[in-house]
């Protein structure tokens, strides 16, 4: 019975990813929002982990579910470093172009930080839910 529950949860995640890709152009959204491309690493690890856990659950699957969360947090730090390192280093407050560039860099860094965190959290929850279902 638990295999059916796992199958349902795994497919809900795959369907959500597919609908997001085709209906909302999720791939392009992630490309635009994440300058580090860590969201694609997170998604790849999640899909690979989900595909292999049906046959045998190991500690490596639990590690992967924590790793995607950690990679999301690393992306958050990269985003903040991008904001703090480049936005204010050579800013000229009297120049509109300089201020526009600083705001653009600030927005890019913040989107990287938030998107990687969100994708890491969702992927980690999706994997952990599958693991708990299979182990119960």
What local confidence, expressed as pLDDT, does residue 87 receive? 59
Q: Cα(40)–Cα(37) distance, rounded to whole angstroms?
A: 6
Residue-range domain boundaries for the chain: 2-135
Burial of 40 per CB tally in 10 Å (0-12, 13-18, 19+):
middle
Q: Cα(58)–Cα(17) distance, rounded to whole angstroms?
A: 25
pLDDT tens figures, 61-89: 999 999 999 999 999 998 888 877 765 66
Establish how many alpha carbons lie within 13 A of residue 39's alpha carbon, considering only the half-sphere containing its beta carbon.
23
What local confidence, expressed as pLDDT, does residue 88 receive? 64
Q: Cα(39)–Cα(32) distance, rounded to whole angstroms?
A: 11
pLDDT tens figures, 47-63: 999 999 988 888 999 99
pTM here is 0.86
Closest listed residue to residue 13, CA positions, set 128, 136, 133, 123: 123
Closest listed residue to residue 36, CA positions, set 76, 70, 68, 9: 76
What local confidence, expressed as pLDDT, does residue 38 receive? 94
The DSSP result for 1-24, as a single string, is -HHHHHHHHHHHHHHHHHHHHHHH
| 65, 124 Cβ separation under 8 angstroms | yes
Q: Once rounded to an integer, what is the mean pLDDT over residues 3-30? A: 92
């Amino acid at each position: 019975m638990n295999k059916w529950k796992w199958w349902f949860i795994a497919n809900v995640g795959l369907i959500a990813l597919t609908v997001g890709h085709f209906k909302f152009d999720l791939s392009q959204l992630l490309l635009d929002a994440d300058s580090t491309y860590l969201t694609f690493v997170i998604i790849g690890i999640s899909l690979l982990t989900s595909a292999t856990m049906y046959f045998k659950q190991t500690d490596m699957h639990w590690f992967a579910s924590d790793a995607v969360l950690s990679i999301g947090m690393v992306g958050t730090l990269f985003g903040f470093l991008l904001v703090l390192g480049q936005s204010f280093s050579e800013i000229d407050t009297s120049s509109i172009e300089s201020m526009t560039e600083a705001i653009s860099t600030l927005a890019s860094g913040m989107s990287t930080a938030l998107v990687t965190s969100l994708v890491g959290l969702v992927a980690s929850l999706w994997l952990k839910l599958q693991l708990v279902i299979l182990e119960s």
